[in-house]
Amino acid sequence: MRSLSPTILYVDDNADSREVISFLLNIGDNKYNITTADSAGKALKLMEVQNYDLYILDYRLPEIDGIELCRLIRKINTITPIIFYSGAAYKAERERALAAGANAYLVKPNDIDNLTETVKVLLSESAALDVNYFQMSGQ
């Protein structure tokens, strides 16, 4: 089941973006445990030792791009929400991300106002799935 403060893994190679988004997501009543990584490789290592309630990915990453990272996440976890928050703004990039298993695709910086709300909605939907699962399984 979900912890009191949802855990988010934010993967972006830009340090300023990681800092700004981490700050933005914790303004007001929002209380998230945010872990950041600057590459897909580091993200995968973090995922070996901790489960996350939500992933936020950039499209363009060193080593492995965000699309491939999304696919790798979906191979081991089909439920946890994934949001792309990226400067890659073409329709084809959005379609590739959604086809890889992302739940939402937001464009930097235009959709910054939608990011917090999208995080809340997806975490809420995911928590509802968790509750339904545990009720059905009798746990």
pLDDT in tens, 42-67: 999 999 999 999 999 999 999 899 99
Q: What is the pTM of this model?
A: 0.88
Confidence of residue 128 (pLDDT cuts 50, 70, 90): low
Q: Which residue has the higher pLDDT, 136 or 64?
A: 64
Q: What is the DSSP string of 127-139?
A: HHHHHHHHHHHT-
- Three-state DSSP state, 104: strand
Q: Which residue has the higher pLDDT, 31 or 39?
A: 39
Distance, CA of 76 to CA of 84 (rounded, Å): 18
Q: What is the mean pLDDT of residues 86-91?
A: 93
Ordered structural domains, the chain, with CATH: 7-137 (3.40.50.2300)
Distance, CA of 105 to CA of 27 (rounded, Å): 22
Residue type (1 letter), 42: K
In sequence order, the 6+-apart residues with CB closer than 8 A to the CB of 36 are 9, 10, 11, 12, 18, 22
Neighbours of 69 (CB within 10 A): 26
Report CA-CA distances (Å) from 24 to 30, 54, 96, 111. Answer: 9, 16, 27, 13
Residue 139 has pLDDT above 50, yes or no: no
Residue 18 has pLDDT above 80, yes or no: yes
